[in-house]
Amino acid sequence: MKKNRISHFYTKDLAIRASALITTDLVKEIQHIHQSLPIATIAMGRLLTGSLLMASGLAEKQQVSIRVQGTGPLGQLSADASFESEARCYATNPTLELPLTNGKLSIGAAVGPGILTITRFHEFHKHPQVSIVEIQTGEIAEDLSYYYQQSHQIPCLVSLSVSLDKNCEVTAAGGVILELMPGAPASVITALENKAKSGRPLSEMILGGATPWDLVKEYSHIENMTETLHLHDIKYHCPCSLERVERTLGLLGQAVLAEMILKGAPSEAKCHFCGRTYSVSLNTLRKLHDEVQPD
């Protein structure tokens, strides 16, 4: 996969900052890993792009997990990303198909109403920071933008886009986050929002070869911003391991483990994020059973 990094931008007076990222190759990889059909590919691609942009605004060794729990047919949609730009995602129903709404795939209809949970993990904090907001449209970008406005109390604009061709191949993907810093006049964001509405669709621009700066410029209509590149290349990465699977099994409790042992077959566990399968032997199950506290 071609190496790719998030670009950060800020204005001279520091009133506006933005981050932008092109994720075409990453979303192709998601589609390949999950063997997903268009609805789930678009939903996961948007969420993973948004979570990478969000995580890049944190500090080293910090991570963000975003769970979109809607009541729609897509089921749960989930993405994890770190400041180091490692990310993974899944959707409960990656092969969902729905009829078109007004000639388009409606991600909002697939997600449905529900809640969005954003958890931030800090290396030195014992407890993660959890925020829960209601799903606004289910189209992901509006939902993340709403979260930013609610939790950071700053005006923010999020735009995320994934496009596919007639053969369901990913052709373009990317995202932009524009944030007004505290103290910036509210009139600026109103102007930004109005201008953003007139912006061309992101994926159309990416398909045409746009750079992250072209995307930010189109949405902000600001001519001059300083650009810095994020320190890490984006990468689909799942840290799952047999050890972690065993630890998770240990959390199921003695009764569940006993039931698994009585079935007499080794237990298969498949990671939803990367598809790797792990086989846990009967001996290990017995060991875990003996180690856990009785229920």
Contact by Cβ (8 Å): 225, 216:
yes
Interaction between residue 207 and Zn ion (CB under 5 A): no
Kindly state the smallest distance separating residue 63's Cβ from Zn ion, in Å.
Answer: 15
Query: Of 90 and 219, which CB lies nearer to Zn ion in the complex structure?
Result: 90
Q: Is 273 in the site for Zn ion (CB under 5 A)?
A: yes
Q: Which helix (H) or strand (E) holds 21?
A: strand 16-22
Q: How far is the CB of 25 from Zn ion (least distance, A)?
A: 20
| 3-state secondary structure at position 103 | coil
Name which of 247 and 263 has its Cβ closer to Zn ion.
247
- The region of 24-32, 182-190, 255-263, 268-276 touching Zn ion under the rule CB under 5 A is 268-276
For Zn ion, the closer CB: 208 or 239: 239
278 binds Zn ion (CB under 5 A): no
Which stretch in 7-15, 106-114, 134-142, 236-244 sits in contact with Zn ion by CB under 5 A?
236-244
Inter-residue contact 162 to 135 (CB < 8 Å) = no
Round to whole Å and give the CA distance between 27 and 5.
Answer: 14
> By CB under 5 A, is residue 269 in contact with Zn ion?
no
* Closest CB to Zn ion among residues 15, 274: 274
Q: Are the beta carbons of 91 and 272 closer than 8 angstroms?
A: no
Comparing CA positions, the residue from 18, 22, 14 lying closest to residue 173 is 22
CB closer to Zn ion out of 269 and 292: 269
Give Cα separations from 110 to 41, 99, 140, 148, 156 (angstroms): 12, 10, 11, 23, 25
Q: Does 240 bind Zn ion (CB under 5 A)?
A: yes
Measure CA 79 to chain center. 4
- Report whether 66 contacts 117 (CB < 8 A): yes
Closest distance between Zn ion and the C-beta of residue 236, in Å?
Answer: 10
Structure tokens at 161: 């886009």
271 lies in the site for Zn ion, by CB under 5 A: yes
| Interaction residues for Zn ion, span 78-137 (CB under 5 A) | none
**Number of residues lying near Zn ion (CB under 5 A):** 5
Least distance to Zn ion, CB of residue 290, Å: 27
274 binds Zn ion (CB under 5 A): yes
Q: Which of residues 55 and 109 has its CB atom nearest to Zn ion in the complex?
A: 55
**Is 282 an interacting residue with respect to Zn ion (CB under 5 A)?**
no
CB atoms within 10 A of CB 200: 12
Nearest CB to Zn ion, comparing residues 129 and 279: 279
> For tokens 């399968």, what's the residue?
277
Cβ atoms of residues 126 and 139 within 8 Å: no
Distance CA 266, CA 93 (A): 26
Looking at 135-143, 247-255, 266-274, 279-287, which segment touches Zn ion (CB under 5 A)? Answer: 266-274
CB 173 within 8 A of CB 22: yes
Instruction: Examine residue 238 and tell whether it contacts Zn ion (CB under 5 A).
Output: yes
Q: Which residues bind Zn ion (CB under 5 A)?
A: 238, 240, 271, 273-274
